[in-house]
């Protein structure tokens, strides 16, 4: 069986890029990844692009071919991948599986989104395309409202506090200060979160990830050629699972079953338990999602996520460092790019190149990218050492 490594990655500055196009952001990210890997575009055999809704955000479809064209990669096969907020991770997974199958030796996986060219209300409406249009969007629900329902249930069932939710954002902003590509590079306090504008009770403005433009890209290679590259990060395992799109059809409002299943598959393939993970990037589109994710990934017991955060265990020097570069809350959340950006930051940690954000002794890293309210979950585990006997 072919082993797969990540040998290069890069992402643009995330933020509101009024004067830039989607194609320019995507091209920049691809160029950064190629430069990091030390290769030329002519070496790329296939391209997978994660993007949720360029058609509604900027009126552009057919992104696979467009990306290949703009990057000078024609005539290689190029495929667009869509799984709502997990579109980037899906592109990575398809690139990984394409190499794993033996079809290719070197593949580019990228993700991009240009979200600020429409009004905020239009962006919110577009994002709700990731929910159930008939039973959620059509009656006026937003994703903030859906996650607020999850937060309220978690608070009622497990005693999670409003302050513990705020501590998620505080931790991520503290890390994001030192990430020069983050959209919001400033610290915030629990008090500031609690006093920020109420969006959907109990979630406030500073519990929510922003509307963002940006792009990210990584280079994946087979073990047949990985020896040509310095400091590869090996894909040890991965999992992809689905759940109901409509929140009201879920068995529980306080867990994402797709995340639990995807994580179980990833751990089994990697031969690891949650305790074997040194650093993690998880999907904090809203603060409650990070708390639920660290529970569903097995870093703590179900219901103890708030306490886990309050005890400082997700901090840079904590028991389980989470979102060490700022997470979606501080870095920003250009939907299609986030899953690839997570892989870029895990790659940096495993190479020991994260500067002031470096986790000491990081040998394994996990990335969890979630679509919608948990209808899609994709988990990948990367490590410094090539897996044996596979």
d(CA 326, CA 115): 20
Q: Would 160 be classed as within a structural domain? A: no
The predicted pLDDT at position 209 comes to 97
Q: Would 195 be classed as within a structural domain? A: no
d(CA 297, CA 93): 18
Rounded to 10°, the helix 287-296/162-176 angle is: 90
Give me the mean pLDDT over the 190-214 stretch: 98
d(CA 220, CA 232): 9
d(CA 154, CA 302): 10
**Of 333, 344, 368, 380, catalytic:** 333
Judge contact between 369 and 327, C-beta under 8 A.
no
d(CA 246, CA 134): 9
Q: Give, in order, the Cα–Cα distances in Å from 23 to each of 117, 153, 240, 358, 366.
A: 14, 41, 28, 31, 29
Give the chain's domain count: 1
pLDDT tens string 333-384: 999 999 999 999 999 999 999 999 999 999 999 999 999 999 999 999 999 9
Q: Would 148 be classed as within a structural domain? A: no
Q: Would 9 be classed as within a structural domain? A: yes
pLDDT band at residue 388, thresholds of 50, 70 and 90?
A: confident
Tell me the DSSP string of 81-111.
Answer: E-BTBTHHHHHHHHHHHHHHTTS-SEEEEEE
The predicted pLDDT at position 224 comes to 96
Helix (H) or strand (E) holding 376: strand 376-383
Q: Would 141 be classed as within a structural domain? A: no
248 is catalytic: no
d(CA 255, CA 291): 10
d(CA 122, CA 90): 25
d(CA 108, CA 125): 31
pLDDT tens string 90-120: 999 999 999 999 999 999 999 999 999 999 8
How would you classify residue 72: left for phi > 0, otherwise alpha for psi between -120 and 50, otherwise beta?
A: left
Q: Give, in order, the Cα–Cα distances in Å from 317 to each of 170, 191, 223, 321, 367.
A: 15, 23, 33, 7, 18
Q: What is residue 154's DSSP assignment?
A: H
The predicted pLDDT at position 120 comes to 87
Q: Give, in order, the Cα–Cα distances in Å from 167 to each of 211, 284, 296, 303.
A: 21, 12, 19, 16
Give me the mean pLDDT over the 312-318 stretch: 97
Percent of the chain with pLDDT over 70: 99
pLDDT tens string 265-295: 999 999 999 999 999 999 999 999 999 999 9
Alpha-helical (H) ranges within the chain are 22-37, 54-57, 63-70, 87-100, 120-127, 143-158, 162-176, 190-195, 257-270, 287-296, 305-310, 327-331, 338-351
Helix (H) or strand (E) holding 214: strand 213-222
pLDDT tens string 219-258: 999 999 999 999 999 999 999 999 999 999 999 999 999 9
343 alpha-carbon distance from chain centroid: 8
pLDDT band at residue 389, thresholds of 50, 70 and 90?
A: low
Q: Would 332 be classed as within a structural domain? A: yes
85 is catalytic: yes
The predicted pLDDT at position 1 comes to 82
Judge contact between 334 and 113, C-beta under 8 A.
yes
The 3-state DSSP class for residue 308 equals helix
Contacts of 316 (CB under 8 A, 6+ apart): 175, 324, 357, 359
Q: Residue 367 belongs to a domain with what CATH number?
A: 3.40.47.10
Helices and strands per DSSP (H, E), number in the chain = 13, 11
Q: Give, in order, the Cα–Cα distances in Å from 134 to each of 30, 85, 131, 149.
A: 37, 20, 9, 18
Q: Would 320 be classed as within a structural domain? A: yes
Range of the domain at 351: 4-119+210-383
Q: Would 130 be classed as within a structural domain? A: no
User: For the whole model, what pTM was predicted?
Assistant: 0.97
pLDDT tens string 57-85: 999 999 999 999 999 999 999 999 999 99
pLDDT at 390 over 80: no
pLDDT tens string 2-59: 999 999 999 999 999 999 999 999 999 999 999 999 999 999 999 999 999 999 999 9
């Amino acid at each position: 069986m072919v082993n797969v490594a990540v040998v290069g990655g890069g992402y643009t500055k995330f933020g509101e890029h009024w004067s830039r196009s989607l194609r320019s952001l995507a091209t920049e990210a691809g160029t950064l990844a190629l430069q990091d890997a030390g290769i030329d575009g002519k070496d790329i055999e296939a391209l997978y692009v994660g993007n949720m809704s360029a058609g509604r955000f900027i009126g552009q479809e057919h992104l696979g071919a467009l990306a290949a064209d703009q990057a000078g990669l024609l005539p290689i096969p190029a495929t667009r991948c869509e799984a709502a907020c997990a579109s980037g991770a899906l592109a990575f997974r398809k690139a990984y599986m394409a190499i794993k199958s033996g079809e290719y030796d070197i593949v580019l996986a990228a993700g991009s989104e240009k979200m600020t060219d429409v009004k905020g209300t239009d962006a919110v409406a577009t994002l709700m395309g990731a929910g159930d249009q008939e039973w959620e969007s059509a009656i006026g629900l937003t994703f903030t409202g859906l996650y607020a329902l999850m937060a309220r249930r978690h608070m009622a069932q497990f005693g999670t506090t409003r302050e513990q939710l705020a501590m998620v954002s505080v931790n991520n902003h503290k890390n994001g200060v030192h990430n020069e590509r983050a959209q919001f590079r400033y610290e915030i306090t629990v008090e500031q979160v609690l006093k920020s504008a109420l969006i959907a009770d109990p979630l406030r403005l500073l519990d929510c990830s922003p509307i963002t433009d940006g792009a990210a890209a990584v280079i994946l290679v087979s073990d047949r050629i990985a020896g040509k590259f310095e400091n590869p990060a090996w894909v040890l395992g991965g999992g992809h699972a689905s759940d109901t799109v409509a929140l009201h059809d879920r068995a529980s409002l306080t867990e994402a079953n797709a995340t639990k299943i995807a994580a179980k598959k990833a751990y089994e393939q990697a031969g690891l338990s949650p305790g074997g993970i040194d650093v993690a990037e998880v999907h904090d589109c809203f603060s409650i999602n990070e708390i639920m994710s660290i529970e569903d990934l097995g870093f703590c017991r179900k219901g103890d996520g708030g306490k886990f955060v309050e005890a400082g265990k997700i901090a840079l020097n904590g028991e389980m460092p989470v979102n060490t570069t700022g997470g979606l809350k501080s870095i920003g959340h250009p939907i299609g790019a986030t899953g690839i950006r997570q892989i870029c930051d895990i790659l940096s940690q495993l190479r020991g190149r994260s500067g002031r954000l470096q986790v000491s002794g990081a040998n394994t890293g996990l990335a969890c990218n979630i679509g919608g309210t948990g209808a899609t979950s994709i988990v990948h585990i990367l490590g410094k050492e090539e897996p044996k006997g596979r």
